[in-house]
Homo-oligomer: A and B are copies of this chain.
Amino acid sequence: MSVIDELAGELSKLPGIGRKTALRLTYHLLKQPRERSIRLARALETLAERVHPCQTCFNPTEDAECAICRDPRRDAAVLCAVEEAADIGAIERAGEFRGRYHVLGGRISPLDGVGPEDLTVSELERRVAGGAVTEVIVATNPSVEGEATALYLQQVLAPHVARVTRIARGLPVGGDLEYADGITIAQALSARREMP
């Protein structure tokens, strides 16, 4: 296999990049100064070598704890539980939330064989069991699996924390939190309600 096919093969494993796009990207890089490919390679290596989940919230970081967990101005009494680390960026861009996060690492989905034990649910339970947390905002996606995950979290967390809230259904049902605009996310946060 040629080097070109090899790179195109690796690129086509990325989501949303098919064989033709992968080849187009490869030929694009061949036309660029080779420093471009080297810089991209270095960034990938650094990502693989230095980034790991935050020991507290599982947000990817280069340190033991992520920047948000280390920030003393962020309210440690309010946690926002999200499916993926990418969702944190979306919520941060909305500029509404001043608490801290917990990355679940997915959502409960029996059809895909994903149960609570595959997520960081027990770690969230342990964080909350300390007693310092007054509210957990469940910000899983407004999908069937996201709602099921929210219900499960509510049952598990209720004994430990005063309030388990769910972001409002201001988000379009079936949508993806990562792609929602900041105003929608801000409204969904401020309209959050107690889970019954």
Interface set of A (CB-CB < 8 Å, partner B): 2-4, 6-7, 9-11, 13-16, 20-21, 23-31, 34-51, 60, 62, 84-86, 89, 105, 178-179
Contact = CB atoms under 8 A, between A and B. Distances in A.
Contact of A3 (B21, B47, B85, B105): B47
B84 A43 contact: no
Nearest to A49: B34
A62 B3 contact: yes
Q: Which 5 A-B pairs have the closest CB atoms?
A: A37-B48, A34-B48, A41-B44, A7-B43, A41-B41
A40 B4 contact: no
A45 B26 CA distance: 12
B26 A47 contact: yes
B44 A7 contact: yes
Contact of A43 (B6, B15, B47, B49): B6
Contacts of A44: 7, 29, 37-38, 40-41, 44
Nearest to A61: B2
6 contacts: A3-B47, A6-B46, A7-B44, A27-B86, A30-B47, A40-B44
Nearest to A106: B31
A119 to B, nearest CB: 13
Contacts of A49: 34
Nearest to A85: B27
A77 to B, nearest CB: 26
A104 B37 CA distance: 22
B10 A40 contact: yes
Contact of A50 (B3, B28, B179): B3
A104 B65 CA distance: 52
